[in-house]
Each structure stands twice: as structure tokens, then as C-alpha cells.
Amino acid sequence: MTVIRRARPADAAGIGRVYVESWRTTYPGLIPDDYLVGLSAEVLTARWHRQLVSGPDGDGVFVAVDGGSRGVVGFVTCGAQRSRLAGYEGEVYTLYLLDEVQGRGLGRRLMAAAAAELLGRGFASGLVWVLRDNPARWFYERLGGERLAEQTICLAHELLPEVAYGWRHLSQLTRLPANPPLE
């Protein structure tokens, strides 16, 4: 059984591992290989540990923890919107899952946790930015995200297009079924 809960400092290594593994399986062909190979779970673990130790006033961070030996298999982070798109207050900054657990409803459950966190902070609406060519961006469309905008970012010394998906009412995300019927 997989549990969704608020992240703790002890989860930093698992978050760092998921970050590296998910980037390496999701972004080949989108982000230069040398950048992906150079990602370090140790460096990311230290960064996440610092963020999680900073306390409850930081960004909302939630993990999906497998009851088996895998530990952290996914995570989501959220907080105040950073891009200043009018009409959207909160933002899901990251959502990453290991390949082997995708398609089990964990992404939906993590999005529901992020939406509840944002609502608890007084943000009624929210958005997420995703690389335009990310093959998993359909996930946000299936959750009812409305395509809002496109921008170019510099990542790994490359200019990459990303798109924003938004929800005017985050409450719709808190009621997501974990395993919807296949379409």
C-alpha cells in the first residue's frame, strides 16, 4: 500500500532519488543527455534536506511512500504562484513519480494533496508549468487543466518551451478518484 503524506527531513534521500530517476526516464531527447547524466542524487538529497528542515513555512512538499522496500516513489511540491499569471494564486511546482508506479493513481493523489494544501493556504485557484514536449503532459489535461500560456525557459543551457495548465477551482482536484476508469 502506498501512503501520501507531508514530507519529512528523513525523506530527502528518497526525494533526491525519485527526482534523478524520473528526470532520466522522462526527459531524454528533451534535455541534453550530459545534463541528465550529471544529475546527482547526493546533491539533490542535501538540497531537499535543507528545504525540509526549514519548517512548515516553506513550500508544501508531499511524498508517496510505498509500504514495501522502495520507500519514496513520488513527490509533489506547491506554494504561491511564481509566474504572475492573472487569476491563478497557487502553483504546483513539481510532480515526479518513478516509472514503475505510474498509472496507479498516485499522481492524482499527489495532486489532490497539493490542491488541499493550496486551498488551506487560501489559494482558490492554481496552475502548473510543464515542458511542452513532455510526453506526460496529457496527465494535466485529463485532470481538467485548462491550457493557459506558453513561455520559453532556459534549462541545461537550452531554450525549451513550456506550457501552463490551470484550474480556476482547486477544490475539483481534491475530489479526484485515485483510479479513474480507462477511457
Residue 144 lies in domain: 2-174
For residue 180, is it within any domain? Answer: no
Q: Given a cut of 60, is residue 81 above it in pLDDT?
A: yes
In a domain, 21, yes or no: yes
Q: Measured between alpha carbons, how far apart are the two ends of the chain, in Å? A: 25
Structurally, the chain folds into a number of domains equal to: 1
Q: What integer pLDDT is reported at residue 177 of this predicted model?
A: 64
**Average pLDDT score over the chain:** 91
Residue 39 domain flag: yes
Could you tell me the pTM of the whole model?
0.92
What CATH number has the domain bearing residue 143?
Answer: 3.40.630.30
| Of residues 96, 95, 166, the one with CA closest to residue 127 | 166
The pLDDT tens digits of the residues spanning 108-146 come to 999 999 999 999 999 999 999 999 999 889 999 999 999
Please spell the DSSP secondary structure of 57-110, one letter per residue: TS-EEEEEEETTTTEEEEEEEEEE-SS--TT--EEEEEEEE-GGGTTSSHHHHH
Q: Is residue 181 part of a domain?
A: no
In a domain, 182, yes or no: no
The confidence score (pLDDT) of residue 179 equals: 52
Q: Is 86 exposed, middle or buried (0-12, 13-18, 19+ CB in 10 A)?
A: exposed
pLDDT at 56: 58
Per-residue pLDDT reduced to its tens digit, 54-72:
865 456 999 999 977 779 9
Look at residue 183 and tell me if it is in a domain. Answer: no
